[in-house]
Amino acid sequence: MRFSTCNLAVLLFVVFCGCAQPSAYAADTPDTPHTFRLENGQYVLDGKPFRIIAGEMEYPRIPRAYWRDRMRKAKAMGLNTIATYVYWNIHEPQPGVYDFSDNKDVAEFIREAQEEGLYVILRPGPYICTEWDFGGVPSWLLKDHAVVRSTDPKFITPAARWLKRVGQELAPLQIENGGPILLVQVENEYGSFEKDHAYMEQIHNLILNAGFDKSVLYTADGPEQTPDGSLPELPAGINFGPGEAQKGFATLKSLRPQGPFFASEYWAGWFDFWGEKYTSTDAQKQANDIDWMLRQGYSINIYVFHGGTTFGWMNGANSKGPDYRPFVTSYDYNAALDESGRPTPKYYLFRDTIAKATGTVPPPVPQTADPITVPSFQLSKSASLWSALPEPIQSKDVLSMEDINQAYGYILYRTKISGPASGDLVLDALHDYAQIYLDGKLAGTIDRRLKQNSLTLKVDGTKTQLDILVENTGRVNFGLAIRGERKGITNSVTFAGRLLTGWQIYSLPLKDPSQMTYTDAACTGPCFYHATFNVAQPADTFLDTSAFTKGMVWLNGKPLGRIWDVGPQKALYVPASWLVQGSNEVIVLDLKGVPGHSLQGLNHPVLDAPVH
């Protein structure tokens, strides 16, 4: 699809006059029906062959004020389509309670894509992976031990209700209804999970019943997993990384010689784990793959074009056997467009590659305002976590977060143990990180990430208070391990070989710490630290968290994300749209807090600090 001389002239006019950019490579005029089909192994739009050149960018990870900016930069890189998942767990936080407001307004996100001249690939799941807590599935399914991603009615019934609700929001935005949605994906990489075609057929039918019958439906798997995860009646896309393009498409052609040939995810970057080095990938190798695929005439979705930020508690984790590896807050992904929406050298390399391979002239790259620094300011007020405990739940045995209708945050288990005694405190099974206190004094930590489940204790008193403060550091989002991914202490606690019972359990979702009472008194241990700082003109910045140990940061009531001194991330992205001119409020929870720390805003991210 060439960029015409006429369109270029119009674009230059509006750029120089300061107006909004026009829809170069324009997708569709809203409300004008079009046709999109598969014919002879090719995508065909309004009767003409059409190649998808897409990039993944997902609405919950991008502040709403920046959606259009990121879309315009997608077009300026040469993309004609964006892809997005739909995140079940943020839209249905409780069974039957839906939220499509503010940054969750996925329909508006898709409408804005169309207004910016982009088509859309929709990926509604119900499972989506994407390094997101529980793969986007709501944690409340675990309360009744639903077997997720199976034909278990405890999973299928709420999944059917959810997909029907997605259809109400988004089916009207399909291409034949005048919207921009070309493709709709059925499930997600199921061949890497199980081989259950009955389940896949159920999900296929649920998506059709939800009204997604005017788009081309497809499945997506690794090339070798395609037989297990695909359906014979649907086209199959393939997902793979650098250096795997030719082999991957050879495998797809052997399985589906009729086509279409679509790289449904080409991994042009990678994610990062707490306590592990930042991942930097080979941009030239990726550009070579993109060039080769486009010159073959194949369609492609770059995963990700722009990752953004996994704000708040929503990061997932990987797990294999005893390994548990939670993801950092940033979803920078070493992508073409970085976490804060700034074009990288990779962006310009990809832009040139796409232009040369397709013979097109992309629009100019929109300007991006520079990030600012914020002078250091003291966190002078504080409040102890221990002073803000809610009423406890009384239980003979330990309960998981899901058992007490809690999704995220912390959970505190309290009981009395008799002494004097020595032995191992064993948490079976801890999900995920615990600080152990005896009569209010920190005795040690237990970290699932380090394959720990016990701590040797010496108890001197006849009746000693045992506190176990547990953090949910992110539910596993990939593999069969997700089916047992309850949070807190998920089985039992023993000390010196004896089962401990008689628990007080405190639910600590920490949804609004701004309501706590902050004082000038010094606070040590699990503490919230509070401050305000002034901004003359809001602009992006990065809060330097290197002075703190482990916890969470809130800005003006919004959860920015997790902090952890194990690295590699040591600064949190602050979007300009979350700041206000004048006074801004910041709260830091530090599990091993000490008074006297300060914060500052950097004009650059810190994603590659040393790890330990």
- Of the CA atoms within 13 Å of residue 232, those in its CB half-sphere come to 2
Alpha helices in 210-344 (DSSP H): 226-229, 245-255, 283-295
- Evaluate whether 61 touches 67 at the Cβ level (below 8 Å): no
Name, in order, each residue with C-beta under 8 angstroms of 152's C-beta and a sequence gap of 6 or more: 146
**Rounded CA gap, 334 and 609, in Å?**
15
189 an active-site residue? yes
Host H or E run for residue 76: helix 67-76
Q: Indicate the SS3 state at residue 174.
A: strand
Could you tell me which of 378, 384, 387 has the C-alpha nearest to residue 593?
A: 384
Cα distances (angstroms) measured from residue 61 to each of 54, 57, 115, 368: 18, 8, 20, 18
Catalytic residue among 56, 131, 187, 265: 265
Could you tell me which of 393, 397, 405, 392 has the C-alpha nearest to residue 491?
A: 397
265 an active-site residue? yes
Query: At CA 346, angle to CA 344 and CA 352, rounded to 5?
Result: 115
**Rounded CA gap, 49 and 534, in Å?**
54
Could you tell me which of 227, 245, 308 has the C-alpha nearest to residue 236?
A: 227
Name, in order, each residue with C-beta under 8 angstroms of 369's C-beta and a sequence gap of 6 or more: 539, 540, 576
**Rounded CA gap, 444 and 591, in Å?**
12
Catalytic residue among 131, 169, 189, 339: 189
* HEC assignment per residue over 465-483: EEEEEEECCCCECCCHHHH
Residues belonging to the active site: 189, 265
